Chains A and B, each alone.
Chain A
């Protein structure tokens, strides 16, 4: 084992060396402490004095105890410059940009829904027409798992929860009449392999339309945590290889598609699978740290690499915790970049994030209540200073959102933006004793968990060992029991139930077998018309790159140009790396 210091040790040393100037006068604080005790013992009811701290029990909450009232005493050592600063300035706690939403409102990026490539093209245009400002392309199950529409495993699942993409032609249909150099497109590719396979199809499409890659703008997910921890399937590659593919993609994109966010460190789906907001951020940041270490082994400067790293978070029910967490993540990532990696470019110190409101927090019973839940989640995200937002729809517990539900989600964002005036002042909750104390606590806990992961030998090992899989299973069981016992209150489900509640009329997405037939016919035609010799050569070269260490995305690009399909490329990866079954904990 190397004697390398952990991120926490490095930050502690570097931060200790910095001079701190407390905002609050220590003498006044002493007097305040006395007054506080007097007040507490004379005015506060005995019951509340005894139970001064309560633990909030919420779905996906981190259960940090909360006092009855927060005063400067909880943030006695607050140093304004060191801990908060101004917006758009170090340590970025108050926001990445000086003018925040006055300068640019968060990108309204609703997921594109489910159906055929041509339907999704219509739906994207409709969303943009209704005021959405970014594209968020959701893939169907077969595409996420990298199967062609005509493989037997894809039966019944083509076009169900997103759009099917087998080849460049599908990409062309999805983005018909959409100017690739003018829109910001998030392509929800999930895994590194999926990114290596699908994103080159987007690049080939840009080539065909004569658009230089340096004018493309958007993001892919490209997160090995999705493949090896969050999702499950019968055919995954080992974590170490998935991590390598993730870094190959980063290397290729950073060099060739400079405005593209090459990774969306996905805390969201990990949280939704079953973890606290602390673990969500710790795992995503631990991945970010390992990426920068690996890229530096490959000879790249962390300050250059990190400029296009993006994060993805899930704000759930514990409102102030969510606001505090988003603030804490910005400060912590800044500190990691500055003190652990010596970054000098502000852009690489920015923790830029897309936020999607929590789906797990939504309920099937009385689904219209979900409109209210999602609006509070969105409010927390905006008060926390997110860059981009998707609001979940009320019908999530029934189906992929209908157009009507999707529009309501977009309207939720627009109402917050245009009618509540909360976007006019930057970081409006900054300086609240409560929010600042909670921000400190969240930052501390996230760093502690990053430390735990690093002491285990890093994130790849923490995943290989099943430690995180077990943690998720334990979280799920515990949370379920707390709901059963009524400790976690869920309105309509275990609290204020309505025995007369009827199953509502929810318009849902219907599966279409014809779509699968169309996709199969297209694949048949493609395989007939393309130069199969060229495809086989490209796939063979890809396999060699996997085994011998060339950048896999470069070879996937050649395969995509030759007309290779998603499933054909998946099989090459699995042949080259072998399969890995995640540890099963229930």
Chain B
């Protein structure tokens, strides 16, 4: 076992998303929990995964408020698979979407889904466990 490194999280939104309050809130929570946060703003699924690989992150978190979580979420996971990082990175989706989309997002390949009101403890402990389970060396 090497010395434990700080968990590194990439946060982003899909190209057209207009709301940023949620993702700024989560960025603060994760930083307060001792994680390293990289926020790249609005990007396409391809650009997001390119940044994730470039930054060598443990976690990719997406915030979505205006739809697109399923269609573009799927593209994001496909990109991750294409780059061979789907199994070593943890994928999170947060924001406002119909409760019925939650199982669909899991099916697509998102590990964690968070709605408004999720606490710092919930999100941080989920990430810590998920990163440990995904077995990053």
Contact = CB atoms under 8 A, between A and B. Distances in A.
Interface of A: 140-142, 144-145, 147, 153-157, 160-161, 231-234, 272-274, 360, 363-365, 396-399, 472-473, 476-477, 480-481, 484, 493, 503, 506, 508-511, 581-582, 584-586
A154 B14 CA distance: 10
A119 B129 CA distance: 45
24 contacts: A141-B16, A144-B16, A153-B15, A155-B71, A155-B72, A156-B70, A157-B68, A160-B67, A231-B18, A231-B19, A232-B18, A233-B15, A233-B42, A273-B20, A365-B117, A398-B98, A472-B24, A476-B21, A476-B24, A484-B119, A508-B98, A581-B41, A586-B23, A586-B39
A398 B99 contact: yes
B24 A477 contact: yes
B18 to A, nearest CB: 4
B123 to A, nearest CB: 12
A145 B21 contact: no
A480 B26 CA distance: 9
Contacts of A274: 21, 24
A156 B42 contact: no
A364 B115 contact: yes
Interface of B: 11, 13, 15-21, 23-25, 27-29, 31-32, 37, 39-44, 65-72, 75, 96-100, 115-117, 119-120
Contacts of A398: 96, 98-99
A272 B39 CA distance: 21
Given A480-B25, A511-B67, A157 B16 contact: yes
A495 B4 CA distance: 37
Contacts of B21: 272-274, 360, 476
Given A142-B16, A232-B42, A234-B44, 19 more contacts: A141-B18, A141-B67, A141-B68, A147-B16, A156-B70, A157-B66, A233-B15, A233-B42, A234-B16, A272-B21, A360-B21, A363-B117, A364-B115, A397-B116, A398-B99, A476-B21, A476-B25, A506-B99, A586-B37
A480 B28 contact: yes
A160 B42 contact: no
Given A476-B28, A477-B25, A156 B98 contact: no
A156 B68 contact: yes
Contacts of B72: 155-156
A581 B20 CA distance: 14
A233 B28 contact: no
